[in-house]
Structure 1
């Protein structure tokens, strides 16, 4: 049946694919963490936007033609920046990466949400081994891959197997995972990270136990000499790179534990930059080191654009700069995303709710008097003249039929009501063709919090997720978005003591 075929195709775009084929060659264990990409953000937080005038010509851009046409809608509630660490061994990176001729890989990415009040920010670490859906991505020859289901997050950056990696594919994956539109993406490599720490004169860290050469390289088969002594110390260059990459011989030896150490490192780096003062003597060497090894989307590819971005963050203090990790659990040797905690985290960011529950939307209390839950979303609009196909994206029996009846009572024409291709939807998704955006927004007034997704096929599809509540806007809005306590309780601030929370996983 034509309608069923269309539904299957639409649903598969939300969660489709087979496993990514593994390459035969052995992957190198020397990897760069995504925290390095935050170097330019450090400059921004430190209030040094003006210094980018000195940096024209340093910055490279990647082709954004690989971005999906099926993206979350743009939002005025804050902005989102994806920061990726690349461990390519080409060029200057061979000196730091202990290898050469390798393709670009990414181990840890961070999604930085800058709130609309421009006084708060939170960086969400996404573990490299997280099992996610990777949507269709563009290859170097211009063709597009098929979507992949339940594969490792870092595989997105490797699509196409180029030295430069595939930041557009990683951005597509993050947007699909979070429902947040990524406004900017930046990639940092080995050399940039190491030289950046040299430029600031080193970064204070705290090591919970002695670390030896054999911990950095398990193949050594012996303890080796001491590399890091237990306790507080300053690191830079290759030693800083070694510190943030260590897994063995420290904490629980996991990548999850390493993420926690990386978050502490970048907090210390921000503190170091602010403590040195905001003058050209200290900031220009740091800016040069960062931007010479950085690749950004075209939206940040000029000094004026970088200035605008940097100045949007200059008023964020250390305590309001938070670090959290995507809710996770082990699934064998991989990491599964924990629901509904992950969806609730990203729903809170979409609503501009801070980790500690504040509304950071930038609206003053006097300008926005208290409102009842039903006032927080547009009143449901008439669906007269609008046709929609309804799909049940959950395991609840009869949900598509009951939602269809509700829509009919509001004037919509329901063309079909059936089960979606998969039943693992949390959010309700509205898919619309190029000429149907206005109709999609009308439909969205009946489903507060629904994700709007553009599609190549014409028409309107509604896939109902588990967060749907019968009763309209008031019922759906009764539980305001909030960062789950499982995430908030483990958040780190940039001003935390460097020796606190050294469990590392």
Structure 2
């Protein structure tokens, strides 16, 4: 009532001409607003819906001891969760009340030139050091050595998982600061593949129900035919989760197919056009089952990040698995090859040695080199301040003494030389205690193909193997422009190439 009275009074107090002008202006304004709503209402609704759907995890679970922020490229940790909550059990089976686990994980490094990218996969059963992580009650766990990588996501035993703990683990392992973390569950993944009308994949042979569920008594029906095909929804999920019945049935082999799938997805999205119009439906499909860090917790930030990738070339988008070897039933990360990979990413250097920082290297006009940074494998080797004990793990007399003499000449402090408990070592092993990984990597530069192994006791010990006895040069490994990465895949590779081991 008050509003109506005030409006009437205002109309009467003006002249008739003024009133007519105001009436026409009002009608024009209403018409313009109506057209604006019709033109943008869809996008506005989608943005509001996206913002309402995006879930974030708390930054209070991130470590206080983090690597420095990069002034060059950015790093995004992508975690595939096998949580069964929220309808996910209908797609992946299992108990809906089970705890969340990380089924797959990779670190995407987008180079500063925004034309190159590399995704580094972490085998879920690789042995790593897990730093202190926050529990739901606010307390923190003690650090753990030699734990399985995917156990970080399960710290706290919650249905939604612990992405902050996985991020802490990746930062400790790589020395790279993770700028953003994204967790996608079964539903989000399936919806994403539906909205792009499927992804082109390939199978080396026919696949049956028993291959997906080895507990079945019979082979069951054929679920995939040999060769190329387009999959989406449940079929796409089955493809990326498939492990048994292909190659050696290992998680490493599955990683190869997951990399091929993500490559196919990128190829499909790029071919459709990376524009806001195309991205919004993709984001809408994904965000209902997406959990991100607070820095990506809005629709405009998500779309803006995706748009920043539009100039990354498919051929220059690489997929690689962290350097690894089998250690019994688990996977060990191989040093110093892994450290060389992280050093290259810190320096914004591609796997083939190119400078992708967007700036000339060493003050030059371009080139492919990269300025060495602290911790870079190209930095000079010095043993100053590093104490190490040397043990002879072979039957070659005097081997420990000779290695110790060489290490002293390079500035190392040798605390002891002795015979190892056994003399049948083939490879040289460098054991290091808590907080000594970087220094152990420096020691490893003097021993070709040495294996780094974390132990619970303090200090660094070298157990010399037959490889050193046969080639006792102890010369620091020459830094290479290229990163020692095997099984590298490009996003534009043939979808049928290199799909499994064995």
Question: Structure 1 length normalisation: TM-score?
Answer: 0.70
Pick the aligned partner of 2:258 from 233, 251, 262: 262
User: Which aligned pairs between 1:73-222 and structure 2 lie closer than 5 A?
Assistant: 73-99=68-94, 100-222=96-218
Deviations 1:171-215 (Å, cap 9, x if unpaired)? 111111111111111111010001111111111111110011111
Q: Is the 8 A contact 1:108 1:127 kept in 2?
A: yes
Alignment of 1:88-487 (within 5 A): 88-99=83-94, 100-278=96-274, 282-364=278-360, 368=364, 390=385, 392=387, 422=433, 425=436, 427-428=438-439, 479=479, 482-484=482-484, 487=485
Structure 1 residue 428: deviation in Å?
A: 4.0
Cα deviations by residue, 1:393-440 (Å, 9 ceiling, x for unpaired)? 6758597998599xxxxxxxxxxxxxx9729945249xxxxxxxxxxx
Over the residues paired in the alignment, what is the CA RMSD in angstroms? 3.4
Counterpart Cα distance in 1 of 2:110 and 2:100: 27
3-state DSSP class of the match of 2:254? Answer: helix
Displacement after TM superposition at 1:216 (Å)? 1.1
Which whole-Å deviations, capped at 9, do the CAs of 1:440-467 have from their partners, x for residues lacking one? xxxxxxxxxxxxxxxxxxxxxxx9999x
CA distance in 1, matches of 2:490, 2:280: 26
The offset of 1:62, in angstroms, is: 0.2
After TM superposition, give the deviation of residue 298 of structure 1 in Å: 0.8
Query: Residues of 2 paired with 1:140 and 1:215: CA distance?
Result: 37
Q: Aligned equivalents of 1:315 and 1:127: distance in 2?
A: 29
Report the Cα distance in structure 2 between the residues aligned to 1:311 and 1:286, rounded to whole angstroms.
12
Aligned length: 389
CA contact (8 A) 1:347 1:482 kept: no
Shift in CA distance, 155/293, structure 1 to aligned 2, threshold 3 Å: same
TM-score, normalisation: structure 2: 0.70
Q: What is the CA distance between 1:53 and its match in structure 2?
A: 7.9
Indicate the residue corresponding to 2:51 in structure 1. Answer: 56
Tell me the SS of whatever aligns to 1:169: helix
Instruction: Check 1:77–1:478 CA distance in 2 against 1; reply closer, same or farther (3 A cut).
Output: farther
Residues in 2 aligned to 1:220 and 1:89: alpha-carbon distance in whole angstroms: 21
Paired with 2:370 and 2:345, the residues of 1 have a C-alpha distance of 21
Is 2:84–2:97's contact at 8 Å kept on the other side of the alignment? Answer: yes
How many angstroms apart in 1 are the aligned matches of 2:170 and 2:365? Answer: 35
For residues 91 and 371 of structure 2, the distance between their equivalents in structure 1, rounded to whole angstroms, comes to 56
Cα distance change, pair 285–393 in 1 and its aligned pair in 2 (3 A): farther
* Structure 1 position 331, deviation (Å): 0.8
Of 53-62 and 100-109, deviating more is 53-62
Q: Which has the higher contact order (CA 8 A, sep 6+)?
A: 1
Deviation at 1:275, TM superposition (A): 1.9
Unaligned runs of 5+ in 1: 1-47, 379-388, 406-419, 430-462, 467-474
Equivalent position SS for 1:91: coil
Q: Which runs of 5+ in 2 are unaligned?
A: 1-42, 375-383, 391-402, 414-430, 441-458, 463-474
Q: 1:427 & 1:113 partners in 2: Cα distance?
A: 21
CA contact (8 A) 2:199 2:265 kept: yes
Please identify, of 89-98 and 255-264, the stretch whose mean Cα deviation from structure 2 is larger: 89-98
Counterpart-to-counterpart distance in 1, 2:304 and 2:277:
22
The alpha-carbon distance between structure 1 residues 370 and 298, as it changes in their structure 2 partners (threshold 3 A), is closer
Cα distance in 2 for residues equivalent to 1:290 and 1:465: 48
2:494 equivalent among 485, 493, 497: 497
In 2, Cα distance between the equivalents of 1:72 and 1:93?
35
In structure 2, relative to structure 1, the CA distance for the partners of 1:58 and 1:184 (3 Å cut) is: same
Q: Larger Cα Rg: Structure 1 or Structure 2?
A: 2
- Residue 305 of structure 1 deviates from its aligned partner by 2.7
Is the CA contact 1:61–1:296 (under 8 Å) kept in the aligned structure 2? Answer: yes
- The 1:404/1:94 distance shift into structure 2, 3 A limit, reads closer
Structure 1 SS opposite 2:102: coil
Contact residue 52 and residue 306 of structure 1 kept, 8 A? no
Paired with 1:401 and 1:504, the residues of 2 have a C-alpha distance of 44
Mapped contact 1:246–1:258 kept (Cα < 8 A): yes
Higher mean C-alpha displacement, 278-287 vs 156-165: 278-287
Instruction: Provide Cα deviations, 1:105-132, integer angstroms capped at 9, x if missing partner.
Output: 0022100111111110000000000001
Aligned to 1:432: none
SS at match of 1:267: helix
Please give the alpha-carbon distance, in whole angstroms, between the structure 1 residues aligned to 2:461 and 2:350.
25
Equivalent-residue separation in structure 2 for 1:177 and 1:108 (angstroms): 16
Q: How far off its partner does 1:367 sit?
A: 5.9
Deviation at 1:340, TM superposition (A): 1.1
**Counterpart secondary structure, 1:219:** coil
Describe the shift of the 1:208–1:367 C-alpha distance in structure 2 as closer, same or farther (beyond 3 A): same
User: Could you tell me how far apart the structure 1 residues matched to 2:352 and 2:226 are?
Assistant: 33
* 8 A Cα contact 1:347 1:481, kept in partner: no
Cα distance change on mapping 1:376 and 1:232 into 2, 3 Å: closer
Q: Provide, for residues 11-49 of structure 1, a one-character-per-residue CA deviation record: whole Å limited to 9, x for no partner.
A: xxxxxxxxxxxxxxxxxxxxxxxxxxxxxxxxxxxxx9x
Query: SS of the counterpart of 2:87?
Result: helix
State the shift of 1:98 in Å: 1.2
Structure-2 change in CA distance of 1:129 and 1:52 (3 Å): farther
